[in-house]
Amino acid sequence: MTESFAFTVASPNAAGQRRLLTLLFVDLSGSTSMAEWMEAEHYAAMLAGLRELYERIVPHHGGVIARIQGDGMLAVFGHPEVREDDGRRATEAALELHAAVRGLLPPGPRPAGFSGLSLHSGIHAGIVLVNDGDQMRGRFELLGNAPNIAARLSEAAKRDEIIASEESLGLQSQFFETGPRFSLQLRGRATPLAAYRVFGRAPVGRRFEASVRRGLAPFVGRGAELAALEVALART
């Protein structure tokens, strides 16, 4: 990506609506070097194909594209309606986008050693002040630090890697195959951020299956109730 998104920290008197959003920031890996060897028309066609994937896949998972700039995209989950599984939706959208971009071939001749297209993505959730956007600011103007953190996570991600903060995934992490939780010191942040690397979907489809995978908490002080259930089951 040749340009960066810029986000603003809200002033105390800023207008807008405070919302808890999950933000997905994706960027094309190695785009600067590709722009050097691709013809301008081929590069434009590649960007058009990339944007078509963004516009098709993000809404399919309940997200809204806030801004597309160059080959990068910022999507929000939780606006206009907040869902308890917004983190899961954003992560599933990222996984589908990564898979789709891996299958996208840029037009025109490609240099020896070209290994294909790939994204690197960051996901974070936090309180954001949402204003109406315009042609310059995109569909929404997002004020606060959460969009910056999502962008920093995308910067920290390697080629074809998805990094999701613990704030965005939480208990929803059990729906995915992830690496161990790790601490990441992001540029411009005073304290480390807990995050996961997401590799794919886990073989679970329901919340209870995810809870079993995580480990169920034992009942405490429910001996009489459990005994009554066992008696009822025996009678049945």
Which pLDDT tens digit goes with each residue over 47-57? 999 999 999 99
- Give the position of tokens 């399919």: 60
Is 1 a domain residue?
Answer: no
- Percent of the chain exceeding pLDDT 90 equals 53
Q: What is the pLDDT of residue 2?
A: 42
Is 216 a domain residue?
Answer: yes
Is 4 a domain residue?
Answer: no
Q: Reply yes or no on whether the pLDDT at 225 is more than 90.
A: no
Q: Would you call 138 helix, strand, or coil by DSSP?
A: strand
Q: In terms of C-beta density within 10 A (0-12 exposed, 13-18 middle, 19 or more buried), how is residue 206 classed?
A: exposed
- Residue 91 DSSP class: H
Q: Reply yes or no on whether the pLDDT at 9 is more than 50.
A: no
Q: Reply yes or no on whether the pLDDT at 26 is more than 60.
A: yes
Is 5 a domain residue?
Answer: no
Give the chain's end-to-end CA distance (angstroms, integer): 64
Contacts of 149 (CB under 8 A, 6+ apart): 122, 124, 126, 165, 186, 189, 193
Q: What is the pLDDT of residue 223?
A: 82
Instruction: State the CATH number of the domain containing residue 111.
Output: 3.30.70.1230
Q: Which two tokens stand for residue 85?
A: 């599984």
Q: Are 38 and 70 in contact (CB under 8 A)?
A: no
pLDDT band at 152 (very low <50, low <70, confident <90, very high): very high
Mean pLDDT score, 83-89: 93
Which pLDDT tens digit goes with each residue over 198-219? 999 998 655 555 555 555 566 6
How many structural domains comprise the chain?
Answer: 1
* Distance from the Cα of residue 22 to its chain's centroid: 7
Mean pLDDT score, 19-33: 93
Q: Which two tokens stand for residue 209?
A: 């299956």
Q: What is the pLDDT of residue 4?
A: 46
Q: Across the chain, where does the E strand assignment appear? A: 17-28, 64-69, 72-77, 119-134, 138-143, 162-165, 176-178, 182-184, 193-201
The residue ranking higher by pLDDT, 174 or 95, is: 95
Is 2 a domain residue?
Answer: no
Q: What is the pLDDT of residue 28?
A: 95
Is 7 a domain residue?
Answer: no
Residue-range definition of the domain harbouring residue 209: 17-235
Q: Which two tokens stand for residue 145?
A: 């630090």
Q: What is the pLDDT of residue 131?
A: 84
Q: How many CB atoms lie within 10 A of CB 16?
A: 16
Is 148 a domain residue?
Answer: yes
Nearest to 206 by CA among 169, 174, 167: 174
Which pLDDT tens digit goes with each residue over 51-81? 999 999 999 999 999 999 889 999 999 988 8
Is 12 a domain residue?
Answer: no
Q: What is the pLDDT of residue 142?
A: 87
Which pLDDT tens digit goes with each residue over 93-136? 999 999 999 998 888 888 887 888 999 999 999 999 988 777 66
